[in-house]
Amino acid sequence: MYVYAILLLAGAMVPGGDFFKLQKANKIFSILLSDNAFHFFGFGVLAWLLCYGYHRAKLSRMPYLRAGIFSLAYGLFIELVQIPLPYRLFSVKDLAVDAAGIVVGLFGFFLFRRKYKL
């Protein structure tokens, strides 16, 4: 999970021009590598992994709440880190997409937990 969080941060620091080149190469890449897809799936997976970790370690009675708060706080941290970067911007829209991905990730873990009776 820590490695994944570091990869999310690293992906957020990459200049946007590199992604634009890949997006233009293929129609599927234009969707998969879009800013919204990166935020939605990136933070959805982060929330899912956090829930799984909290559940396995039995560290919390409220893994969904903790995972959701931590994931959103990490998204805010990444947006704040991008402020001084000349090729990145702070965006409330990105935080909203992060939050949507987090909700889907938490719901996905809830369904996973019910299906496999964890």
- According to the model, what pLDDT value does residue 11 have? 80
Check pLDDT > 80 for residue 1. no
pTM (two decimals):
0.86
Q: How many residues does the chain have?
A: 118
Region for 117 from its dihedrals, namely left if φ exceeds 0, alpha if ψ lies in -120 to 50, beta otherwise? left
Please report, for residues 31, 83, 95, the alpha-carbon distance to residue 76 in angstroms, rounded to integers and kept in the order given: 24, 11, 7
Mean pLDDT value across residues 88-92: 91
* Choice between 35 and 96, residue whose per-residue pLDDT is larger: 96
Q: pLDDT tens digits, residue range 57-87? A: 887 778 899 999 999 999 999 999 999 988 8
Q: pLDDT tens digits, residue range 14-52? A: 776 666 676 677 777 677 777 888 899 999 999 999 999
